[in-house]
Structure 1
Amino acid sequence: MSTRTLAVVSAGLSVPSSTRLLADRLTAATVDALRERGADATVEVVELREHARDLADNLVTGFANTSLREALDTVTGADGLIAVTPIFSASYSGLFKTFFDVVDKDALTGKPVLLGATAGTARHSLALEHALRPLFAYLRTVVAPTAVFAAAEDWGAGDATNRDLVRRIERAAGELADLVAQRPAAAAADPFASAMPFEALLRGA
């Protein structure tokens, strides 16, 4: 089997959070779908709440510290991305937007992405279409046709609503797996690729 890497970005603020729960379910379904397509998957999760101060520092200094740089490299170097945010005031969270503001605008070009969102009420479900899709279109990613929204009532055990959520998760995961499996595996990042040339260091650049 070939191996693909999945980066999972969760912007949940609480522990535990419904955002992370949805991210985990999308990830498990995608791993299963990739296995059905003859590919193993390695998964790396980026919890944005752990990088809130790092992101604020980056906004004012223009530099990512080691922890944030590792998170950015995880996302940009993966074969596929699962991105899940809570919805506040009918849009993605500020933490979610700040992270993708920090990502280089060309670093995600062509990357397969599965979008997910959570909120207390289904009234926020259209945020996936009017907020998240335009953001990832700007970043020139390839977004899976099915995006998954989960409201509080979607987590009910054993009822029809919960079964509908499961079906949406499986459909979206299959779409992402198709996109990822069709692409060649991402090359390992060169840790010295962005190093400043020695001549520039001598000039004090």
Structure 2
Amino acid sequence: MKILLVDGTVLGSKTGAILVEIKKYIEKIDENFDMEILTFANYEHQIVDGRPFDQYNTGMQEMVTKLEQADGYIFATPIFQGSIPGVLKNAFDFLNPKALRYKPVSIVANGGTHQHHLVVENQFKPILDYFRALVTPNYVYTHADHFDENNMIIDPNVHERLQELARVFVKYCELSATLSKTPIDQHE
């Protein structure tokens, strides 16, 4: 099963640090996953503007193809100005509406205040619901106090929550493997 750990920003390193930890926890539970960290900062982003897909740069085409071909996702996002970054929303705008259907998804987010966790509930989950992704009920929200000066997670509670997120995500992967991705009316 191909799992994409998506660092959905071009700025900062906290979301990437969270993904590195989650990857370790998932590997402890099940080492058979094929996991890749997809870092948005490694791509030259172009805004979705309606042109044919083959007219976007090769980096965008590669990124979207990876997103559409993965079997499960951990999305990591910072919260900027009370919202997810534009590059993350733009990436979702590229995707086929069926690209995430019944695929497991977990969310981690990082923000400057404790209240910004509501962005996950009010903005991010509705986007994933539109795609009919299997969103785990638990997500992990962090803020600056949870990291040291090298952006390493120092809060033991955050580590516990990341371990629990990894455990639930693996169970959702097992569930997803048993679900048909084809709508019922198209079955023979």
TM-score, normalised on structure 2? 0.82
Q: CA deviation at 1:155?
A: 1.8
Runs of 5+ unmatched residues, structure 1: 186-205
* Unpaired runs of at least 5, structure 2: 179-188
Residue 98 of structure 1 corresponds to: 90
Q: How does 1:51-62 map to 2 (within 5 A)?
A: 51-53=43-45, 55-56=46-47, 58-59=48-49, 61-62=51-52
> How do 1:23-38 residues align onto structure 2 when only pairs under 5 Å count?
23-35=19-31
Higher-Rg member (1/2):
1
Paired position in structure 1 for 2:126: 134
Question: Which residue of the partner structure matches residue 199 of structure 1?
Answer: none
2:186 corresponds in structure 1 to none
Distance 1:120 1:32 in 2: 30
3-state SS of 1:85 partner = strand
Identity %: 24
TM-score by length of 1: 0.76
Mapping of residues 72-91 of structure 1, within 5 Å: 72-91=64-83
Query: What stretches of structure 1 move > 3 A for 4+ residues in a row?
Result: 182-185
> 1:129 is paired with a residue of what secondary structure?
helix
Contact 1:13-1:49 at 8 Å conserved across structures: yes
Question: CA-atom RMSD, angstroms?
Answer: 2.1
Distance between the aligned counterparts of 2:114 and 2:141, measured in 1? 8
**1:36-92 superposed Cα distances (whole Å, 9 cap, x missing partner):** xxxx11112221123343x32x43634243322222222222221011111012111
Distance in 2 (CA, whole Å) between partners of 1:129 and 1:147 is 10
Distance 2:96 2:116 in 1: 28
In the aligned structure 2, how far is the partner of 1:144 from the partner of 1:28?
18
> Does residue 151 of structure 2 align to residue 154 of structure 1?
no
Match of 2:162 among 166, 169, 185: 169
